[in-house]
Amino acid sequence: MFLYLEDSSKFAFSRRESFKEFLSSQDGEAFGMLGIPFDSTATYMPGARFGPSAIREASYNFEGYNLTFNRELKAPIFDLGDVSVVAGDFKETSKRIIDTLTRLLSHDLKPLILGGEHTITYPILKTIQSRDNPTIIHFDAHMDMRDHYNGKFTHATVMRRVYELEPQDIIMIGVRSASREEIEFVKEHEIEYYTSQMIQENIEEVTSKLRSIKDPVYVTVDMDVLDPSHAPMVGNPTPCGLTPFHMEKFIETISRKDIMGVDIVEVTSPVKGDQTGLNAAKILHDLLSLKS
């Protein structure tokens, strides 16, 4: 009706029609995008609340066609907006995430989550785990495997809580910072991890590992997995990280898996055009092109 209107605050490649109409007329799957602007347990740089809008804005700098993978991005995506989080109250926020995500899954929408802090991955996986028992592919500069750090539920303990959900497996990629407690826990429980230094030397070892993991998978991307030169605006920028080229290769490999959901967290950019948002949007763009 309104010829020239557009909602530039939704993800650039999302459908503008109702997802109910879409789903009733189609077979197959669609993606449901949710922003979760929660950042109350950040310990170094705050601002992950800006992540959802930063990533959506950045998506407008990408083409419908993906030259690298020679694919048109046609995957049906519905950008549902943001979960209404409660600053300072992870418990209530967690409940809301679980309720919203449960509803989303009931519509056969696969979650694409834009954080917010990494802490939110726990309620997400708590919801998904009960259905899918996925292998968790965890991109991060950190292990996030502490048992306790400023409480039980923070960005530094989230993967420990996820581990307690007993997922099929966890594999960590890009790690370069951990406490002794974490490294011991990970070794004791035979959780595989690949440091950024290893990847720098021999990326093939990781892509080959990724090819071998069992379906289904869930992908959680803490954007601090990238080097600060590529992702300066994150909660805990950590030197010696991965490059977007590394991520391109990993995403290509992962796209062949049966993916239950994806989250991209810890983007803190308050300024339009910042490359942290761009690199986060590119990860989604690549994955969604490859899934098209």
Indicate if the alpha-carbon torsion angle 281, 282, 283, 287 is positive or negative.
positive
Q: Which is nearer to its own copies, 99 or 204 (CB)?
A: 99
Q: How far is the CB of 31 from its own copies (least distance, A)?
A: 15
Q: Give the rounded distance of the alpha carbon of 98 from its chain centre.
A: 16
Q: Which is nearer to its own copies, 17 or 92 (CB)?
A: 92
Strand 192-195 relative to strand 109-115: parallel, antiparallel, unpaired? unpaired
Element (H, E) at 109: strand 109-115
Q: Are 94 and 130 in contact (CB under 8 A)?
A: no
Q: Which is nearer to Mn ion, 14 or 220 (CB)?
A: 220
Stretch that binds its own copies, among 204-212, 213-221, 222-230, 254-262 (CB under 8 A): 222-230
CA distance 290 to 274: 25
Question: Which of 29, 46, 130, 187 contacts its own copies by CB under 8 A?
Answer: 46
Q: Is 141 in the site for Mn ion (CB under 5 A)?
A: yes
List the interface residues with its own copies, window 3-22 (CB under 8 A).
3-10
Compute CA distances 62 → 15, 71, 278, whole Å. Answer: 16, 13, 9
Classify 276 as helix, strand or coil: helix
List the interface residues with its own copies, window 130-149 (CB under 8 A).
none
Q: Is 188 in the site for its own copies (CB under 8 A)?
A: no
List the interface residues with Mn ion, window 214-253 (CB under 5 A).
222, 224
First to last CA, the chain: 29
Question: Which of 18, 26, 200, 202 contacts its own copies by CB under 8 A?
Answer: 200
> Contact residues for Mn ion (CB under 5 A)?
118, 140-142, 144, 222, 224
